[in-house]
Structure 1
Amino acid sequence: MAELAGTTLKTVRHYHKLGLLEEPERSPNGYKRYGVKHLVRLMGIRRLTDLGVALCDIPSVEAADGRSEQILRSLDDELARNIERQQRMRREIAAVLDDGASLALPPEFGAAAADLPQAQQSLLVAYASILTPEAMAVVSEEFAAPRDHVARAFERLSADAGAEERDRLAHHMAAEARRQQEAHPVIKDLDAASRRDGTTARSVVAQALAEFYNPAQLDVLRRIHALLEEEESGRTERIGAAVA
Structure 2
Amino acid sequence: MSWSTRELAELAGTTVKTVRHYHEIGLLEEPDRAANGYKRYRIKHLIRLLRIRRLTDLGVALSDVPAIESSEESAEETLRSLDAELKVSIERQQQMRDEIKLILEHRSRPDLPQGYDGDVSGMTEMDRTWMMLYSQVFDDDAQALLRESSEDERSDAQREFEALPADADEETRQRLAEAYAPLVRSQFEAVPALEDLATSDVPANSVILHAVVELYNPAQLDVLQRLNALLQISPRDQAGDAPEG
Shorter-chain TM-score category?
Answer: 0.7 to 0.9
TM-score by length of 1: 0.74
Residues 1:25 and 1:214: Cα distance change in structure 2 (over 3 Å): closer
Is 1:206 matched with 2:212? no
Give the conservation status (yes or no) of the 8 Å contact 2:112–2:128: yes
Counterpart position of 2:98:
91
Residues 1:183 and 1:120: Cα distance change in structure 2 (over 3 Å): closer
Deviation at 1:48, TM superposition (A): 0.7
Residues in 1 aligned to 2:195 and 2:173: alpha-carbon distance in whole angstroms: 32
Is 1:68 matched with 2:75? yes
Is 1:154 matched with 2:154? no
Counterpart secondary structure, 1:129: helix
Q: Cα RMSD over matched residues?
A: 2.9
Deviation at 1:101, TM superposition (A): 0.9
Residues in 1 aligned to 2:195 and 2:47: alpha-carbon distance in whole angstroms: 65
AA of the residue aligned to 1:147: E
Give the conservation status (yes or no) of the 8 Å contact 1:154–1:217: no
Counterpart position of 1:80:
87
Residues in 2 aligned to 1:19 and 1:135: alpha-carbon distance in whole angstroms: 56
**Unaligned ranges ≥5, structure 2:** 1-7, 238-245
AA of the residue aligned to 1:155: R
Counterpart position of 2:190:
179
Deviation at 1:43, TM superposition (A): 0.9
Residues in 1 aligned to 2:199 and 2:55: alpha-carbon distance in whole angstroms: 55
Counterpart position of 2:131:
124
Which structure carries more relative contact order (alpha carbon 8 Å, separation 6+)?
1
Residues in 1 aligned to 2:70 and 2:41: alpha-carbon distance in whole angstroms: 24
2:32 equivalent among 25, 35, 42 = 25
Give the conservation status (yes or no) of the 8 Å contact 2:55–2:65: yes
- Aligned residue pairs total 221
Counterpart position of 2:4:
none
**Unaligned ranges ≥5, structure 1:** 195-200, 235-244
TM-score by length of 2: 0.74
Give the conservation status (yes or no) of the 8 Å contact 1:105–1:124: yes
1:163 equivalent among 158, 174, 193 = 174
Residues in 1 aligned to 2:24 and 2:127: alpha-carbon distance in whole angstroms: 57
AA of the residue aligned to 1:75: L
